[in-house]
Structure 1
Amino acid sequence: MQYFPLFLDLSNKPVLVVGGGEVACRKIDSLLRAGAKVTILSPKIESSLQQLVDQEKCVWIQNFYSGEHLSPDYVQVWATTNNPELNHQVHADAKNARVLVNVVDDQPYCDFITPSLVNRGKIQLAISSGGASPVLVRNIRQQLESLFSQRLGDQADFAASKRRDIKRILPSVDERRKFWERFFDHPELELCKNRHDFEQLYQALLYAEVEDRASITWIEYGEDAELLPLKALRLMQKAEMVFFHHYCPFDFVDLVRRDAERTKFANDIELASHLEEIRKHNIRTCVFVPPGASKYHLLRGDDMLIELGKV
């Protein structure tokens, strides 16, 4: 992984954009949406940027670039001109000033890159190929746009508005996480059209009796993680504990929920000792085992087994 994925808070942060052409227009639009305080440095700018300057949404320094304009106070610098030598000079000056810099469409001169985004209010899905294939990324974004409801942003806003309320009622992080899992998994959620509908569902689930039982799901692994059934992927995202055979490819383990505890085992005896402790607690667990391994049958008992490549 060449780039570390990160969402940066640019609200009221100073950002310098060198250049005032079409490329600068696209970048400045996104920067302003993020709340950045944008300064444009260019002898001339596009009419759309002039309107932003006239509306005092950004500042324009009408001048040719000089290293004197690049201050360490900027959190980001964007070089957007059509002059590669000038862009590379901006890059060198930014590095000397220890300011993050992006030379547009010139990946070796970028400290960071911007992903393709699917926006649903507070929900943002970022897709990147590390600059390898922008067209492929665009195709993926188009597919994702059709999958996610336009109401995702409303759901996020409602959940944010309930943070204090639910902390008062459900004091532990684990209780709150499990509640929101029930809330966002509920089939009636997609029918909610306004805040009143969200509130009704919230209240109904918040005070409903819930039987929280331990569950152990056994999942066969193989050579291709894409053969995992949807049911397995859903349960893997809810697992709090994961045990995996030491031959299990990491592609399988990596698909489990990020904050689940992961433990490797080498044989059935080692696994048995782990499961003995798990069964004493209400912990949702996934166990990755080799396909057709009969030595785990007694350990599994009546637990669910999901075979690779089967629904």
Structure 2
Amino acid sequence: MQYFPIFLDLKDKSILVVGGGEVACRKVDGLIRAGADVTIVSPKIASHLVDLVAKEECRWVQNFYSAEMLDRRFVQVWATTDNPSLNHQVYQDAHKLGILVNVVDDLPYCDFITPSMVNRGRIQIAISSGGASPVLVRNIREKLESVLPHNLALVAEFAASKRNDIKSRLPDVDSRRRFWERFFDSAVVELAISRDALELHYAQCFENNNKAQARVTWIEFGDDVELLPIKALRMMQQAELVLFHFQCPFSFVDLVRRDAERSQFHDEADLAALLEQANQNGLRVCIFVPEKSTSYQWLRGDDLHIKLGQV
């Protein structure tokens, strides 16, 4: 992993942007939306930036850049001019003060890079290739835009508004997680276009039994993790315990929810003991077994069995 992904809280943080052209316009727009306190340094700026300055959404220092303009109150510096020598000077000056700097479209002179974003209100998805292929990243973003529900902003706002209410109703983390899993795993949520519809569904979820039953899902593994069906991925994200055969590639196990417990088994006896304990605790379990294996049929019974490549 070349870059560590992180979302920064820039609200009321001081940011310096050197340059006032088209590139600066794009960067300043995003920084303002994030609530940053933006200062632009440039002898001239684009008309769009002039409008923002007039609205007091950012500041403009109408002058050529000099090192004296930098100080440690700035948490980020953006060099956006079309003069590589000047941009590199900004980079050197910022580094002397320990300030993170981004020289736009000049990867060796970037302490950080900005990803391509999919925005749905509170929901943000960041995509990056580490600067290797912007066109590939754009294609991925377009695919995500086409499949993500457009009501995600509404749903996220609703969930945020219920944080205190659900804490008072369900005091432990596990019961709250299970509740939200049932809430979101519904066509009502996916199709909701109003808060009233979400409120009704929220109330109905509480009327139903809050205790999820133990559930075991058997998933075959092979050499190609991309053959996992969508249903398997959904069950893997709901599992609280993952039991995997010692030959299972970690590329399969790594797709399971991050906070799920993981245990390896070597044979039927190992697995039977682990399953007995899981059933006693009422856990939702995913078990990875070799593709087309018949060794575990007696343990599987009527449990859900998902095969590789299954639709």
TM > 0.5: yes
Aligned partner of 2:307 in structure 1 is 307
Which residue type is aligned with residue 150 of structure 2?
Q
2:188 pairs with 1:188: yes
Q: CA RMSD for the aligned pairs?
A: 1.5
**Cα distance per residue 1:74-106 (max 9 Å; x no partner):** 111111111112111211222221111111111
2:177 and 2:132 map into 1 onto residues whose CA distance is 36
Aligned partner of 2:198 in structure 1 is 198
Which residue type is aligned with residue 45 of structure 1?
I
Aligned partner of 1:121 in structure 2 is 121
How do 1:37-186 residues align onto structure 2 when only pairs under 5 Å count?
A: 37-186=37-186
Aligned partner of 2:218 in structure 1 is 218
Aligned partner of 1:288 in structure 2 is 288
1:54 and 1:135 map into 2 onto residues whose CA distance is 35
CA drift at 1:19: 0.8
Does the CA-based 8 Å contact 2:76-2:99 persist in structure 1? yes
Q: SS of 1:305's equivalent? A: strand
CA drift at 1:299: 3.3
**Cα distance per residue 1:103-132 (max 9 Å; x no partner):** 111112111111111111111111111111
Aligned partner of 2:7 in structure 1 is 7
TM-score (norm 1): 0.95
Does the CA-based 8 Å contact 2:178-2:212 persist in structure 1? no
**1:84–1:263 distance in 2 versus 1, CA, 3 Å:** farther
**Cα distance per residue 1:36-77 (max 9 Å; x no partner):** 000111121111111111211111112222222121211111
Aligned partner of 2:23 in structure 1 is 23
Q: SS of 1:75's equivalent? A: strand
TM-score (norm 2): 0.95
CA drift at 1:210: 4.2
2:250 pairs with 1:243: no
Aligned partner of 1:233 in structure 2 is 233
CA drift at 1:211: 5.0
CA drift at 1:164: 0.8
Q: SS of 1:10's equivalent? A: coil
2:210 and 2:161 map into 1 onto residues whose CA distance is 23
Which residue type is aligned with residue 81 of structure 1?
T
Which residue type is aligned with residue 163 of structure 2?
R
Q: SS of 1:218's equivalent? A: strand
**Cα distance per residue 1:242-264 (max 9 Å; x no partner):** 12223222221121112212223
CA drift at 1:136: 1.0
1:3 and 1:229 map into 2 onto residues whose CA distance is 30
1:114 and 1:141 map into 2 onto residues whose CA distance is 14
Which residue type is aligned with residue 260 of structure 1?
A
User: When the two structures are aligned, how many residues end up with a matched partner?
Assistant: 311
CA drift at 1:173: 1.0
CA drift at 1:231: 1.1
Does the CA-based 8 Å contact 2:179-2:210 persist in structure 1? no
CA drift at 1:186: 1.4
1:134 and 1:70 map into 2 onto residues whose CA distance is 31
Question: Structure 1: 5+ residue runs without aligned partners?
Answer: none
Q: SS of 2:125's equivalent? A: strand
**1:279–1:158 distance in 2 versus 1, CA, 3 Å:** same
1:83 and 1:74 map into 2 onto residues whose CA distance is 22
Does the CA-based 8 Å contact 2:15-2:77 persist in structure 1? yes
Stretch of structure 1 that moved more, 128-137 or 26-35: 128-137
Question: Structure 2: 5+ residue runs without aligned partners?
Answer: none
1:281 and 1:44 map into 2 onto residues whose CA distance is 67
Which residue type is aligned with residue 145 of structure 2?
E
1:308 and 1:190 map into 2 onto residues whose CA distance is 27
2:81 and 2:269 map into 1 onto residues whose CA distance is 64
CA drift at 1:156: 0.6
CA drift at 1:300: 2.8
CA drift at 1:294: 3.1
Does the CA-based 8 Å contact 2:14-2:36 persist in structure 1? yes
CA drift at 1:191: 3.7
Aligned partner of 1:257 in structure 2 is 257
